[in-house]
Amino acid sequence: MPHLTVEYSANTAGSFDPRSLAEDLHQAVVTIAGGRAGGCKTRFVRQDEVYIADGSPHYAMVHLEIALLSGRTAETKRALSAAAIDLLRRHVAPMPRFEVQCSVDIRDLDGDAYARHDEPRTEQ
C-alpha cells in the first residue's frame, strides 16, 4: 500500500540510483511507519520543465511524496519525513554546479476510499 513518488528535475538525472533509493525508502517505511514491504510502490518521475526559486539554471530539485493509509501519528510521520530527507541527501550525489533542494511530503490515503486488487501471478 505505501505509494512513493520521487519527482526530480532533469538536471539531477544520473545523480542517484533509483533502485537503491527505492530499496532504502521501502525499508524506512516498513521500519518507521509499519508499512508492508510487499505493498510498497515507488514511481520515479523526471520533470523536464521546472521553475525553482528565481528560475536560475543552477537550481535542481528532488521531491518525495509518501502516501500511507491514515492512522499514523504525527510523531511517526515526522520520523519518516526526517529519515526520508536523510536518505535523499545520502543518495543524491554532490552536484557542485547546482543548489539541490530536497523535500518530503507525507500524505494520508483515505482508508474508506482506497482500493487495491492484486492479480495472482500465474506460472507458465
115 occurs within a structural domain: no
Please check whether residue 124 lies inside any domain of the structure. no
Any idea what the CATH number is for the domain that residue 68 is in? 3.30.429.10
The residue count of the chain comes to: 124
Q: What is the pLDDT of residue 8?
A: 98
Domain count, the chain: 1
Q: What is the mean pLDDT of residues 23-52?
A: 94
- 17-31, 48-62, 100-114: the lowest-pLDDT one: 100-114
Question: Mean pLDDT, to the nearest integer, of 80-89?
Answer: 98
Residue 36: inside a domain, yes or no? yes
User: Residue 69's domain spans which residues?
Assistant: 3-109
